[in-house]
Amino acid sequence: VNIIDTPGHVDFTVEVERSLRVLDGAVTVLDAQSGVEPQTETVWRQATTYGVPRIVFVNKMDKIGANFEYAVSTLHDRLDANAQAVQLPIGAEDEFEAIIDLVTMKCFQYNGEFGEEVGEIEIPEDYKA
């Protein structure tokens, strides 16, 4: 597996486009507070042009103002992406505590000063369908 980390800044649009021509897939990283940003739209269109399949990772869920639902809604509204969550966060900002994997239906909690201790916990009742 080869990983190419392309810059998100508008000054590197040409370099990103060159990279997209040789990729088998891409991971789009969204800020949980900002969601889709203007450069995200540009790179998304380029990836569509080159037929690059994508997954999206919503990052910085522990940041002040983090909002998973908002970030995902910007995918739909600004990119017209048919995006579906495969993991759901439990909490946000300083109360971000776990994720639910919707594929395996397991819940993982991160403990320790830096979240380095991972343990499986029961999915909270208010998150069960």
Name the pLDDT band for 57 (thresholds 50, 70, 90): very high
CA 122 to chain centre: 23
Do 18 and 72 lie in one domain? The reply is yes
**127 within a domain of the structure (yes/no):** yes
Note the pTM of the prediction, 2 decimals: 0.84
Q: Average pLDDT over the chain, rounded to whole?
A: 90
The mean per-residue pLDDT over the stretch 91-110 comes to 94
56 has pLDDT over 90? yes
The mean per-residue pLDDT over the stretch 7-14 comes to 70
Looking only at the bridges linking them, the beta strands covering 54-59 and 26-31 are parallel
More confident residue, 23 or 34: 34
Return the bridge partners of 101, or none: 87, 106
Give me the pLDDT at residue 7, please. Answer: 67
Do 2 and 49 lie in one domain? The reply is yes
**Structural domain tally of the chain?**
2
**17 within a domain of the structure (yes/no):** yes
58 has pLDDT over 90? yes
Segments forming the whole domain that contains residue 30:
1-85
The mean per-residue pLDDT over the stretch 23-50 comes to 92
Give me the pLDDT at residue 20, please. Answer: 82
**46 within a domain of the structure (yes/no):** yes
Task: Dig out the tokens for 128 from the structure.
Answer: 């069960």
